[in-house]
Amino acid sequence: MQLQTIRPNIVQSIRAYRVDDLMKAAQDAGHHFLYANVATAPGKQEVLESIAKAFTFPDHFGKNLDALYDCMTDLVNKSGQQPGFVVVLEQLPDNARFDREAREQLLDVFRDAADFWAERRIPFRCFYSFQ
């Protein structure tokens, strides 16, 4: 699998791809690979905490959507030139504590991050799955 066959700034379901293939493609392209499996996170707060831990966000991470956006964009951008990103969010909850609206709000942050990086001509591909 080669990343060139996937639009460079996109947030999409992982259905057509395997995590191992995405990880290898990211490595081959020299891109950052960020992976979070949030299957055990029952609600929004826990999902954010799981992502923060998996992506090794700073201790001062605010555990809200604005802080998530800042960590995925400005914080990384300020650390220097970036080669590109492949992000995988596996097993997003589908329950009363993390309903469709909460999932869409979370994915909107990643869509906004994809737009942020697109403006800088840096590929940002995010893949997700639901429980």
In a domain, 5, yes or no: no
Would you state the pLDDT for residue 1? 67
User: How far apart are the C-alpha atoms of 66 and 76, rounded to whole Å?
Assistant: 15
Task: Indicate if the pLDDT at residue 59 is higher than 90.
Answer: no
Portion of the chain with pLDDT greater than 90, in percent: 82
pTM: 0.94
Please report which helix (H) or strand (E) contains residue 128, including its range.
Answer: strand 124-130
Specify if 63 maps to a domain. Answer: yes
- pLDDT band, very low/low/confident/very high, at 13 (cuts 50, 70, 90): very high
**In sequence order, which residues have a C-beta less than 8 Å from that of residue 52 and are 6 or more positions away?**
61, 63, 68, 71
Domain that holds residue 80: 10-130
* Domain assignment of residue 41, yes or no: yes
Instruction: Determine, yes or no, domain membership for 4.
Output: no
Q: How many domains does the chain have?
A: 1
Residue 80 clears pLDDT 90, i.e. is over it:
no
Give strand pairing partners of 33: 86
In tens, the pLDDT along 97-111 reads 999 999 999 999 999
Task: Report which of residues 87 and 5 the model is more confident about.
Answer: 87
- Residue 2 falls inside a structural domain: no
Instruction: Report which secondary-structure segment, H or E, holds 51.
Output: helix 44-54
The CATH code of the domain that includes 53 is 3.30.370.10
Q: Is residue 81 part of a domain?
A: yes
